Chain A
């Protein structure tokens, strides 16, 4: 089980561009999703003209399903300057992989709940760390994809784009840098030293 918790309205509004499309992933039985509060916020973004469309869907975590679900909205999505995703961390990463040339931001933080997680085998992972980093890392998770879960950039162990731990494993921070470079968002990496919060329930 996991909980998705909305980021603050101010943060979400600051991420949205002028032609934002919102993908709102609903209906996953393992997730507690703050549907009412998210709906209010999405209505707000539509009303103010920052968002042009809300796509209500489910299971965007699965790349195949994401393709099926977004097929009829591709014109809007291609025209968007930003995509804001309301889902767990896996969903945001699946969307950012599919739309790698566009800034994809998370509208939620993902927190853990004990119990059954579901069984969908997927390429990407979410550690449910509760302080989603995806908005400053181009939609690639440094917690789940970096072998040291580093949050402040690449260590000295990257060789030919691969991790020192496993020559088959891509260096997450190499990917993050390249993605941000392509999106011309390298400045989003220039935050002050970040320290993870490991306090339970935080």
Chain B
């Protein structure tokens, strides 16, 4: 079901993210999704995340749907021109997948196949415009679609803790105008920064889900600080991860930190998006501690 309908009903929308494998065996991913992600409203499936070649988002969304799980088709502009993007959107509609998330995508040199041609025929804004165009019954060339047009809940992303947050807000506005109906954010570790961002973002009148990544250890936190755009982890959190190595290794500290951030931010947003990065098994405990179970 389209998560835009949940936002419209005023629900606090929970989503989690899974990354398809490098290979075509989905047993593990599907098992984890069924076991640990039953309490979220929809499951995002990444599209060759970090420019690493993997099984497609679309096939994985279909497999989740076959298990009765609601999915969000993430679509980047890195690997496909506008013909292929439109074709994949129609394919998603054919499979009954009706949530999508538009991203520009990381550059190809960020991943494991640096020789590949970076496409970027469209970008996140023009991709949203493209979805809206298809929904109106014509394609980007202006040619009519056969039969009833597709309909998606159209999502987009924004980085509230970016060091160039005003530039991000300007882009967010363009995405809203192009048709974005909901936003998921880059991982937030600084609640005050997020709340300040939401003060400015609320003028756009679209629901925003707080993005969180459960930190696994201090090394991961330092890595993200140095390498991941839009992510900034305060030193206190890194100290907290260093304090009790066993507790951190077991995921207890990461879940505590993330639950605390969710509690601090949840009155300022319309949902939470959890990027577990392999720690899907911690999601139930996180929802419990954040007071979101059964919401």
Contacts and interface: CB of A to CB of B under 8 A. Distances in A.
Given A164-B110, A195-B122, A196-B121, A153 B164 contact: no
A97 to B, nearest CB: 20
Contact of A177 (B82, B170, B178, B229): B170
Interface in A105-157: 147-157
B120 A150 contact: yes
A41 interface: no
A152 B123 contact: yes
Interface stretch (B6-14, B124-132, B190-198): B124-132
Contacts, number: 99
A186 interface: yes
B164 A161 contact: yes
Given A161-B163, A161-B164, A195-B82, A152 B230 contact: no
B167 A148 contact: no
A198 to B, nearest CB: 7
B126 A186 contact: no
Interface in A19-78: none
A11 interface: no
A181 B164 CA distance: 13
B236 to A, nearest CB: 21
A9 interface: no
Nearest to A157: B229
Interface in A145-175: 147-161, 164-165, 171, 173-174
B107 A165 contact: yes
Interface in B82-121: 82, 103-104, 106-107, 109-110, 118, 120-121
Nearest to A176: B167
A174 to B, nearest CB: 5
Nearest to A180: B170
Contact of B167 (A151, A152, A158, A198): A158
Contact of B107 (A147, A153, A173): A147
B107 A157 contact: yes
B246 interface: no
Contacts of B128: 193
B167 A193 contact: no
* Listed residue (B106, B109, B121, B123) with the most chain A CB atoms within 10 angstroms of its CB: B123
A120 B35 CA distance: 63
B279 to A, nearest CB: 22
B121 A198 contact: yes
A5 B175 CA distance: 32
A148 B170 contact: no
Nearest to A165: B107
Interface in B122-154: 122-126, 128-129, 140
A151 B129 CA distance: 14
A190 B229 contact: no
A101 B154 CA distance: 39
Nearest to A194: B126
Nearest to B186: A156
B107 A156 contact: no
Given A148-B104, A156-B230, A164-B229, A195 B129 contact: yes
Nearest to A174: B164
Nearest to B132: A193
* Listed residue (B110, B120, B166, B167) with the most chain A CB atoms within 10 angstroms of its CB: B167
Contacts of B129: 192-193, 195
The list of the 9 closest CB pairs from A to B, nearest first, reads A193-B129, A152-B125, A153-B171, A159-B229, A155-B104, A177-B167, A148-B120, A193-B178, A193-B126
18 contacts: A152-B174, A153-B125, A153-B170, A156-B103, A156-B186, A156-B229, A157-B229, A158-B162, A158-B167, A159-B229, A160-B163, A164-B107, A164-B110, A165-B110, A189-B170, A190-B174, A195-B140, A198-B121
Interface of B: 82, 103-104, 106-107, 109-110, 118, 120-126, 128-129, 140, 157, 159, 162-164, 166-168, 170-171, 173-174, 177-178, 186, 228-230
Interface of A: 147-161, 164-165, 171, 173-174, 177, 181, 186, 189-190, 192-196, 198
